[in-house]
């Protein structure tokens, strides 16, 4: 059995727990049977309270997260599904902790270039979720109505052939080559092993293989699979997706 130090534990502050981050984190620690988290993320910039602005304010939640880090309950803290503008608010907030990680959707059908550039300039690590295009989310959220599947895209298949890998491995390698960590999901032992094998592949294969991989950054189809539409409300604070994502 692995020791605690060999396991990297990440958890998230759910929307309803803004304003009581310590209680939420302590509950998570009890559930996991551990004394600390390696990383604790604010899951969404959403609190569930109507009004012109999130309440509690995002800056107040961020100060709560800082108290967890200073108290040793979480070694690092970060955010998930935050826009660059919302992260900038946190970074400007007095008394806030360093922003270690931003976890966002990122894959060739939604590169999220603006957030990646913002984080790169500020030393914030980006973790890409849905790195394979999230087929399950596409079906669940009805995002696949145009018939597109990232794993079946001709450019992805070409990159896989050039690298000598599976389409999923090509997509994961593309994510790693951008400097992000990637979070593929699978319950199949063979696929999990194949996903892990990508860690030993060269990030920049060079030649025609490198060009085929780079071509994935030029796909023109760009669409979120997880767009946060469930959190929109005519009572605010987010009435439109443009307000949620600051676009």
Mark the ranges of the chain whose per-residue pLDDT is less than 50. Answer: 140-144
Cβ burial 89-125 (10 Å sphere, 16+ → b, else e): bbeebeebbebbbbbbbbbbbbbbeebbebbeeeebb
Q: Is 71 exposed, middle or buried (0-12, 13-18, 19+ CB in 10 A)?
A: exposed
* pLDDT score, position 1: 79
Instruction: Determine the Cα–Cα distance for residues 125 and 71; give it in Å rounded to an integer.
Output: 22
Q: pTM of the prediction?
A: 0.93
Q: In what order do the strands lie in the sheet with 181-183?
A: 10-13, 37-42, 74-80, 101-105, 125-129, 181-183
The CATH-assigned architecture of domain 4-145+225-245 is Alpha-Beta Barrel (3.20)
Our separate counts of H helices and E strands in the chain read 10, 6
* pLDDT score, position 146: 60
Per-residue pLDDT tens digits for 67-82:
999 999 999 999 999 9
Which of the 8 DSSP states describes residue 110?
A: B
* pLDDT score, position 202: 86
Phi, psi (rounded to 5 degrees) for 124? -95, 125
Residue ranges per structural domain of the chain:
4-145+225-245, 154-179+186-218
């Amino acid at each position: 059995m692995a020791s605690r130090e060999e396991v990297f534990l990440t958890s998230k502050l759910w929307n309803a727990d803004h304003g009581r981050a310590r209680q939420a984190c302590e509950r998570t620690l009890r559930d996991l049977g551990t004394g600390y988290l390696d990383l604790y993320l604010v899951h969404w910039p959403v609190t569930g309270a109507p009004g012109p602005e999130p309440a509690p304010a995002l800056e107040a939640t961020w100060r709560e997260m800082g108290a967890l880090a200073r108290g040793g309950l979480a070694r690092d803290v970060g955010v998930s599904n935050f826009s660059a503008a919302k992260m900038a608010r946190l970074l400007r907030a007095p008394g806030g902790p360093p922003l270690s990680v931003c976890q966002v959707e990122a894959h060739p059908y939604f590169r999220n270039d603006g957030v990646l550039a913002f984080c790169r300039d500020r030393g914030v690590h980006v973790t890409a979720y849905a790195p394979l295009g999230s087929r399950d989310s596409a079906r669940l959220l009805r995002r696949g109505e145009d018939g597109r599947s990232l794993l079946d895209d001709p450019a992805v298949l070409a990159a896989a052939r050039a690298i000598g890998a599976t389409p999923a491995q090509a997509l994961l390698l593309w994510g790693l080559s951008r400097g992000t960590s990637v979070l593929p999901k699978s319950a199949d032992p063979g696929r999990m092993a194949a996903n892990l094998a990508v860690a030993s592949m060269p990030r920049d294969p060079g030649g025609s293989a490198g060009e085929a991989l780079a071509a994935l950054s030029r796909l023109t189809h760009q669409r979120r699979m997880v767009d946060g539409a469930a959190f929109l409300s005519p009572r605010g604070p987010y009435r439109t997706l443009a307000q949620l994502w600051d676009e």
